[in-house]
Chains A and B, each alone.
Chain A
Amino acid sequence: EPEVTQTPSHQVTQMGQEVILRCVPISNHLYFYWYRQILGQKVEFLVSFYNNEISEKSEIFDDQFSVERPDGSNFTLKIRSTKLEDSAMYFCASRADSWNNSPLHFGNGTRLTVT
């Protein structure tokens, strides 16, 4: 069964550094998402992406964050200058279509640790 893949599985970075989290969504899916989960807390929406542009973003997704789909297969999340509070599990997800019953398929996540 096709799946969403994320790399790396674990990233350690120093505060102030830029990080890029990479995702390959399921190939025929149209909608793409980034979520994050701070350890022990709920899963929080960051951004959704459709038709090569952001369709919705949360208040968490400030100017330090950006997303890109550079080549039609990869979907990346960039954090420009990481802060300690950016430490979390970051999940990429994709969805096939706009039908309401269409679930999000999540990748295994990238654990980001900012020191």
Chain B
Amino acid sequence: AQKITQTQPGMFVQEKEAVTLDCTYDTSDQSYGLFWYKQPSSGEMIFLIYQGSYDEQNATEGRYSLNFQKARKSANLVISASQLGDSAMYFCAMRGPGGETSGSRLTFGEGTQLTVNP
């Protein structure tokens, strides 16, 4: 079974500073994918970034980067130059290997509420 752990229920950061949101995972699969989603107060789920278990380089997407440490089973999200609009709940999620018909569900962590202060 897969498990995702986000140990920071809440984080605070000053505008324009960088912040790291932690995510650790547990799986016996060799092939898996890790995702981060943002959920603003309006409720929608917005895909941010993906990291594959076989990717040798850390994923980056604009101000978002993923600090992937496979041996430690961690996939921390780094947001650089925080903006007020970054205030939201952030979820780490994992997908295991799946055949074409399996659907390959995402398993989500508990989430981290990020507040960016002006």
Contacts of A42 in B (CB 8 A): 91, 108-111
Describe A's contact surface by its main secondary structure.
strand
Cβ of A98 and Cβ of B44 under 8 Å apart?
no
Q: Number of contacting residues on B, CB 8 A?
A: 31
Cβ of B101 and Cβ of A100 under 8 Å apart?
no
Interface residues of A in 32-56 (CB under 8 A from B): 33, 41-45, 48-51, 55-56
Contacts of A33 in B (CB 8 A): 103, 105
- Nearest chain B CB to A10 CB, angstrom units: 10
B45, CB-defined interface residue at 8 Å: yes
Cβ of A109 and Cβ of B47 under 8 Å apart?
no
Given A98-B100, A100-B95, A100-B97: A105 touches B47 (CB 8 Å cut-off)? yes
Contacts of B45 in A (CB 8 A): 43, 91, 93, 106, 109
Cβ of B102 and Cβ of A101 under 8 Å apart?
no
Residue of B nearest to A31 (CB): B103
Q: Give Cα A111 to B45, complex, Å.
A: 14
B-side residues, CB < 8 A to A, are 31-33, 35, 37, 42-47, 50, 52, 91, 93, 95, 97-111
9 CB contacts below 8 A, A to B, read A42-B91, A42-B110, A49-B103, A55-B102, A98-B104, A100-B97, A101-B50, A105-B47, A111-B43
